[in-house]
Amino acid sequence: MRQTPLYSRSARHGPAPEAARVAGETTPDLAPAAAPTSPPAATRPRWRQRLGSAVRDHRLIWSAWLLVLALLGGVWWQQSALAPRALTQKDIDAAVLRTLSTQNLPSRAARAAEKIRPAVVRVVAYDKDKKGEEVEQGVGTGVVIQDKGIILTNLHVVQSAQAIKLTFADGSESRASVAGVQAQHDLAVLQAHTIPDDLHAATLRSTADLAPGDEVVAVGFPFGIGPSTSAGVVSGLGRSFKSPEGTQEIGNLIQFDAAANPGNSGGPLVTMDGEVVGVVTGILNPTRARTFLGIGFAVPIESAASAAGLPPF
């Protein structure tokens, strides 16, 4: 009996069943064909693909922008936190109170003395003995009024001196000569022969608004010791004075009670701003002790300045 030929199954439909090994064997029934697979889903339209891609791109862009904004916000916050805020009057008052409570500030007299000290000069007058050698005749004080070496002092400090030696605030020394005198006010103008490089001149102030009770400081070399500072007030104005050993009376003087002694003569009388209002010229002491009893006198700076040829205030 003829056999129906076996055909191999198309590769599309899977492998063919194994052929019978023995001729004449009855070919078994073929397994039912597998259910046809559903056709692949239709490809998505291109516009939808582009739309999805665009959405994804926009999400990335927005994410990047948010990151940038977050970074900028962090930088701005940090700069705002570090940037100093504007000071208020309350901040300033608090700082001043804190300074006053934690630090010892110099007194007004100390500040005045510190300001005038670079212009204060020690003046020593010399005479000559029988052998022609220089011997010290007296010590006084001077004040620099021009940085070219012009110095004011009392005439009685340098009168009849054979030589004059100056010692400046920086310790340097110089000889000096008398450049002018104003005998009626007991004033002498000295010219230094050698001028320090950093010579400081005092600031002069008019006495027009000076009044009794105003605080003043006297700086000089009492008994050759110094520079020494004493503080007091203006006791009166327009006073007259004649020293016990002199015959000339000097008028229009400033009376003050800051301690002064021999050696203070020619030194500056200054305000609390460190400005010169007078040149110390004498002390009142009816005894021979020549020590301070509380009354000193100074020539107003207007008279002293005119002795040096300076213009009036």
Q: Residue 246 corresponds to which tokens in the numbers above?
A: 């002199």
Q: What angle do CA 125, 188, 156 make, to 5 degrees?
A: 55
At 196, which amino acid appears? Answer: P
How far is it, in rounded angstroms, from Cα 205 to Cα 231?
18
Answer whether 281's CB lies under 8 Å from 250's CB: yes
Taking the C-alpha atoms of residue 210 and residue 233, their distance in angstroms, rounded to an integer, is 11
Tell me how far apart the alpha carbons of residues 186 and 182 are, in angstroms, rounded to a whole number. Answer: 6
- Alpha helices per DSSP H over 83-136: 89-102, 108-116
CA neighbor of 123 nearest in space, from 148, 156, 150, 158: 158
- Alpha helix positions (H), the chain: 46-82, 89-102, 108-116, 155-158, 301-307
Closest CA to 290 of 226, 246, 235, 231: 246
Handedness of CA 223, 224, 230, 236 (dihedral sign): positive
Amino acid making up residue 95? A
Catalytically annotated residue among 174, 185, 186, 303: 186
First-residue to last-residue Cα distance in the chain: 157
The enclosing H or E element of 79 equals: helix 46-82
Q: Which of 235, 243, 265, 303 is catalytic?
A: 265
Catalytic residue list contains 265: yes
Which residue out of 156, 174, 228, 230 is catalytically annotated?
Answer: 156
Annotated catalytic residues are 156, 186, 265
